[in-house]
Amino acid sequence: MSDIRVVLEREERQIHDNVMAMAKLAAEALEKATDSLMSQNAELAEEVVGEDARVNALMRIVENECLEALALQQPVARDLRAIIASLQIATDLERIADHGKSIASIVLGMDGSSFDGPLDRIAEMEDTCQNMLTRVMEAYENRDAALARAAAADDNTVDDLDEQAVSSLMMKLMTAPDVGMHATHLLWIAYHLERVGDRVTNIAERVVFMVNAETPDLD
């Protein structure tokens, strides 16, 4: 094996490890943000907001590693796809963490009063997104295009749950205007979770591209 090949494989492994670390942080942000909503735990929400800097720092590291590998090693074919896909996946993971931060910020703006909203659907949305993220990152790690496609398919479930939550909240806004602010907060939280499903679908598309050199539309 040539020295150039050894260096390229080492750099790809480092990029891979940092992308997987980003996925772990993004999943934790999403889980903690949703938990802070369910428990109205401001301290936990503040923790999510504060930890977002760690994801941003890893994003900058991955960007630099990918650009350096592209410039100095001049990868082709499979290696080139892996580096490009990893950079795109890191971008989507950073945005998933941002959605978690946004949910936590919304929780910090809530008054903590009880409210008969569709929290069960919101919790199910988060659970489905977590399952999607786990499977798509497994697909990334194992270069499994079929698993990536299967993970993306569950975005339909997230969309259905979002529609149910929005319908319930809009009815609340029409029939109980006194809970308008609380309902609006939950509408925004449902929006952010729906966008997480879309981000995971983007990651699935990057994995398929990395493995098969295809650019599918999995929406």
Rounded CA-CA distance 52/195 in Å is 18
Rounded CA-CA distance 61/71 in Å is 15
pTM: 0.94
Domain positions in the chain: 3-212
Please provide the size of the chain in residues. Answer: 219
Nearest CA-CA partner of 211 in 134, 137, 145, 150? 145
Segment 50-107, tens digit of pLDDT:
999 999 999 999 999 999 988 877 777 888 999 999 999 999 999 999 999 999 999 9
DSSP state of 75: -
Segment 130-166, tens digit of pLDDT:
999 999 999 999 999 999 999 999 999 999 999 999 9
Segment 163-201, tens digit of pLDDT:
999 999 998 888 877 777 888 999 999 999 999 999 999
Q: How far apart are the first and last CA of the chain?
A: 40
Six-digit token pair at 157?
């479930």
Distances (CA, A) of 147 to 39, 82, 192: 33, 17, 24
pLDDT tier for residue 3 given thresholds of 50, 70 and 90: low
Domain at 3-212, CATH class: mainly alpha
Q: Which residue has the tokens 């786990």?
A: 134
Rounded CA-CA distance 115/14 in Å is 46
